[in-house]
Structure 1
Amino acid sequence: MDDAAGPATRAEHGTRGDGPVRGAKMPRWYVTLFASDAMERFGFYGLQAILVLYAAAPAERGGLGLAMTDAAALFGAWIGLMFMLSLVGGWVGDRWLGNRTALFAGSAVNVAGYLLLSIPAGWTAAVALPLLAIGGAVYKPNHQAMINRMFGGSRSREAGISLMYVASQISALLAPLIAGYLGERVSWHLAFLTIALVLLATTIQLRLTAGQFGGVGTTAIRPLDTAERRATVRRLVLSCLAIVVVLAGLAIAGLLNATVAIGAIGLLSVVTPIVCYVRLRGDPALGPDDRRRLTFFLFVYLGSALFWMIVAHAASLLNLFARDHVDLDVLGFVLPASWLQAATPLFILLLAPVIASVLPRWGGRNNVGTKFSAGLFLVGSGFLVMSVATSLVTDGGDKISPWWMVVVYLTHACGEVIIAAVTISAAADVLPAGFLGRTLGMLWLFAGLGGGIGSGVVRLNTVMPEPLYYSLLGSVAILCGLAFWAGRRALTRGLS
């Protein structure tokens, strides 16, 4: 999801605004941001590919030794926390550090997180994963802000952002292949160290190329005044003290464990978007029509949360299923289970141009409801396929063909291209321009809501048969898709 920071003045950019597509040579600042995003995404998708496998691996094999349900819930809780903190990360760049400075800080925090994961000690993961959530939450919104500020009103901005999206999919394709092989076949900690070195390279790059940005993002656009700074420090200190007190109380009571921590983060990622949505809707600067559109857009937010909750299963339960129940022997070479995570970005790279050419003409006037119904129907159908696949697994240890998983990931890829495009596009027209950042930021929060709910939902997999679990989730997605189709005209009127 790409957050628009709004147009900037030509004076801020100098001659850089014409971007990478119209000229024969890419501007140096664009090359820097392009490479930085590709390497940061390599870290994110590498972690996504192996986190649940590392968490579920026994301690004697270098893993965390978590129960399968905790390992599956861990990814949803982690990504929910990162998305939840993204609004704060954007605020850090806008009001405190400046976007470019925050970009560098987020990258540096990511390096520290991956270095901690590379240390073969279980306690380091408890520190590293929150650090990686903070680093990602600070890095991503400020990277998006820098792209928009450097392009300004340039006609090349949309093409430049699209090109970066392609780069992120290439990283998503390569990261599972490299990190997955190192983690599953050599050492989990070597995989994390490799990611740390890649992130260290982009951190050094950002530091050495600071002059390319001409001072843009060095300081906050609207810096905190003295009173705001004091209030912020006070809230931060009080929040940290509250967290320490709660953790100490849980430790004394003997309740401080992975299950409790994952559950607490999941609960927080559910409460936060609800509170932020209510506060946004109650903003006195909004008029009756604005609130009406935002009320109807809540259905889009919730549908998006459902979609991302289901897609997040790829890095949790589906990854574990591939490890245990899929025949990964291809011509005598046994594929690492994490390599199947590369299927979705590969399909996105292949299909995105086709879908992009069709999408603008699809759905007519009622395009939001129509396209959303298609996206949910696709991801729901994929889980119905998964239900059939799990029913074929026998107690005798027979394994199924990887093509079952490939079909599931194909539906995820098609649904992702549709859902991501329609939500970002529709969000731009819900509220006045001054609220665009917050409207788009809510998409991050509701994606986090999906992760938070998913961290609890995956536990149902242990109390019901797997075919029933996947068929229920798939049916819910399809029914919600049908609801969007039935209400497409009402949604169009509500958003107009």
Structure 2
Amino acid sequence: MSDYNRQKIVESVPQKGFFGHPKGLFTLFFTEFWERFSYYGMRAILVFYMYYEVSKGGLGLDEPTALAIMSIYGSLVYMSGIIGGWMADRLFGTSRAVFYGGILIMLGHIALSIPGSMAMFFVSMVLIVLGTGLLKPNVSSVVGDIYSLEDNRRDAGFSIFYMGINLGGFLAPLIVGTVGMNYNFHLGFALAAVGMFLGLLVFVFTKKKNLGLAGTYVSNPLSADEKKKVYPRIGLGAVVIAILVAVGIPTGLLTFDSFIALVGILGIGLPIIYFTVMYRSPKTTEVERSRIIAYIPLFIASVMFWAIQEQGSTILANYADKRTQLDFMGLDISPAWFQSLNPLFIIFFAPVFAWLWVKLGDRQPSVPQKFSLGLLFAGLSFLVILLPAYLGGTDSLVNPLWLVLSYFIVVLGELCLSPVGLSATTKLAPAAFSAQTMSLWFLANAAAQAINAQIVKFYTPETEMMYFGVIGAAAIVLSIILFILSPKIQKFMKGVR
């Protein structure tokens, strides 16, 4: 997108109207609030739905398989952002991508709400994966469009937006989790579908007035000749995938283990391809190439961070269900409720961090330094959760406050890294790859969960201390290395802070 078009977009958006921020932030805040309500509501009960017995309304899968599927599913959700980012950049813009994605997500939750076979379960997963790939990276990209690059409100705006994400994430496990765990899993999934429907209503009825031209520009549209080549290739690719699946499953070549390995390869390989293509593109300037180099260590750090944070819905969810004392102080705690801790802490502390960055101004830590702090807290959160086993063994139930403390510490890291990473991505992105670079940011989460799918099988109550200790220590070591390299990385960012 040219600087001229970027300026036209900013001028078309009312710049005051939502807590001192552009009015479009209202539309994006509540669209993402309801989308996250639907996603985190579904995710709060999904792992339990998979491994609970059929007599209890579940699918009856064994626990290691259910944990691996959760990680693979999470990886594919974020990996599909490549498709969504490419379509927004080359075909129809970010606004339409958000709308189409919301429809697919809603249909996916509706499919989950229908009692049926494993086939219906996997149909819902495909719909939600594709829908989230269209919506998730592009709604964040539109947030970047409504601010000028020099606007000091930008980081604070992303923090407010991030607070909206987590407000939906906080309420969803309490509402959807309670209904799904205490009454019926499918009724819980239906509530998630309603949430996405409400998000679509907010977006459709307020975008014209609040967003102006934001999301309407196609930053790098396909030429007529390119369209003639691309559409047949997409169709051919779909046919090839269908044939490979149809042949692979009956012959035993496509098994669950081989699929996990394939996703792991994609999780690591796709970011490498993305960085290479953007760096070598003739549409990328010398300054933008330098910023891509600076982005690489930030990407690696975010992979390590999300590998720990995303285990809140897998290993720590299982820990809450199997290892935690759920009858506590006269309260019967649902294991799904622990999924609300992360967003609850963010709701309280996101405004504090937003205020802190604005208050510090030019004296605030650099982006690489904030990332190193995020990694440090992530590592500490895993070292904390190994202490109960060290102090009391692996046979007794753990006081739930240990789990609360672990979630709290990782949130401190998340607030140092995630909203800052969103903002930095929009500023470091090459102009011709704006939406796709946001997809690359979410690929860090995809890579992390692809790695998690490989390592969650090593977790057992007996290996608990070793599991949390090795991963936590690795994150702390990486945070120290990143902090040391921060001044060098900052130079490659060419003025971006």
Q: What is aligned with 1:202?
A: 199
Q: What is aligned with 2:377?
A: 378
Distance 1:302-1:161 versus aligned 2 partners, 3 A rule: closer
Q: What is aligned with 2:122?
A: 126
TM-score by length of 1: 0.87
The Cα shift of 1:470 comes to 0.7
TM-score by length of 2: 0.87
The Cα shift of 1:421 comes to 4.1
Secondary structure class of the residue paired with 1:21: coil
Q: Alignment partner for residue 88 of structure 2, among 84, 93, 96?
A: 93
Contact 1:109–1:134 under 8 Å retained in 2: yes
1:172-199 Cα shifts (integer Å, max 9, x gaps)? 1101111111121111111101111221
Q: Alignment partner for residue 171 of structure 1, among 165, 168, 171?
A: 168
Amino acid at match of 1:370: Q
Contact 1:7–1:153 under 8 Å retained in 2: no
1:155-176 Cα shifts (integer Å, max 9, x gaps)? 6973655433222221111011
- Indicate whether 1:342 and 2:340 are aligned: yes
Q: Alignment partner for residue 114 of structure 1, among 109, 118, 122?
A: 109
- Indicate whether 1:235 and 2:214 are aligned: no
1:17-64 Cα shifts (integer Å, max 9, x gaps)? 22423779x95x654443322111101221232222222222232222
The Cα shift of 1:287 comes to 5.9
Amino acid at match of 1:131: L
Q: Alignment partner for residue 478 of structure 2, among 466, 480, 486?
A: 480
Task: Extract unaligned runs of 5+ from structure 1.
Answer: none
Contact 1:5–1:149 under 8 Å retained in 2: no
1:47-92 Cα shifts (integer Å, max 9, x gaps)? 2322222222222322222222221122222222122221321232
Distance (whole Å) between structure 2 residues aligned to residue 340 and residue 138 of structure 1: 28
Amino acid at match of 2:179: L
- The percent of aligned pairs where both chains have the same amino acid is 27
Distance (whole Å) between structure 1 residues aligned to residue 361 and residue 53 of structure 2: 49
Distance (whole Å) between structure 1 residues aligned to residue 444 and residue 36 of structure 2: 21
The Cα shift of 1:476 comes to 0.5
427-436 vs 336-345, greater mean Cα deviation: 427-436
The Cα shift of 1:495 comes to 4.2
Q: What is aligned with 2:401?
A: 403
Contact 2:113–2:187 under 8 Å retained in 1: yes
Distance (whole Å) between structure 1 residues aligned to residue 424 and residue 207 of structure 2: 34
Distance 1:5-1:350 versus aligned 2 partners, 3 A rule: farther
Contact 2:176–2:188 under 8 Å retained in 1: yes
Secondary structure class of the residue paired with 2:60: coil
The Cα shift of 1:493 comes to 4.2
Contact 1:111–1:196 under 8 Å retained in 2: yes
Amino acid at match of 1:68: E
The Cα shift of 1:153 comes to 7.8
Distance (whole Å) between structure 2 residues aligned to residue 492 and residue 12 of structure 1: 29
163-172 vs 253-262, greater mean Cα deviation: 253-262
The Cα shift of 1:475 comes to 0.8
Distance (whole Å) between structure 2 residues aligned to residue 13 and residue 368 of structure 1: 24
Q: What is aligned with 1:36?
A: 31
Contact 1:19–1:30 under 8 Å retained in 2: no
Distance (whole Å) between structure 2 residues aligned to residue 197 and residue 392 of structure 1: 45
Contact 2:375–2:479 under 8 Å retained in 1: yes
The Cα shift of 1:414 comes to 0.2
Distance 1:287-1:228 versus aligned 2 partners, 3 A rule: closer
Distance 1:6-1:99 versus aligned 2 partners, 3 A rule: farther
Distance (whole Å) between structure 2 residues aligned to residue 7 and residue 401 of structure 1: 57
Distance (whole Å) between structure 2 residues aligned to residue 330 and residue 9 of structure 1: 54
Secondary structure class of the residue paired with 1:66: coil
Distance (whole Å) between structure 1 residues aligned to residue 81 and residue 367 of structure 2: 25
Distance 1:223-1:358 versus aligned 2 partners, 3 A rule: closer
Q: Alignment partner for residue 52 of structure 2, among 57, 66, 74?
A: 57
- Indicate whether 1:103 and 2:98 are aligned: yes
Secondary structure class of the residue paired with 1:374: helix
1:281-430 equivalences under 5 Å are 281-286=279-284, 290-359=288-357, 361=360, 367-391=366-390, 394=393, 396=395, 398-427=396-425, 430=428
Contact 1:110–1:199 under 8 Å retained in 2: yes
Distance (whole Å) between structure 1 residues aligned to residue 486 and residue 160 of structure 2: 31
Distance 1:313-1:484 versus aligned 2 partners, 3 A rule: same
Q: Alignment partner for residue 276 of structure 1, among 274, 277, 280?
A: 274
Contact 1:19–1:154 under 8 Å retained in 2: no
Distance (whole Å) between structure 2 residues aligned to residue 156 and residue 363 of structure 1: 10
- Indicate whether 1:139 and 2:135 are aligned: yes
Contact 1:5–1:144 under 8 Å retained in 2: no
Task: Extract unaligned runs of 5+ from structure 2.
Answer: none
Contact 1:8–1:149 under 8 Å retained in 2: no
Distance (whole Å) between structure 2 residues aligned to residue 157 and residue 367 of structure 1: 16
Distance 1:436-1:97 versus aligned 2 partners, 3 A rule: closer
Distance (whole Å) between structure 1 residues aligned to residue 166 and residue 144 of structure 2: 20
Secondary structure class of the residue paired with 2:14: helix
Distance (whole Å) between structure 2 residues aligned to residue 298 and residue 96 of structure 1: 27
Q: What is aligned with 2:468?
A: 470
Distance 1:433-1:245 versus aligned 2 partners, 3 A rule: closer
The Cα shift of 1:11 comes to 6.2
Contact 2:219–2:434 under 8 Å retained in 1: no
Q: What is aligned with 1:188?
A: 185
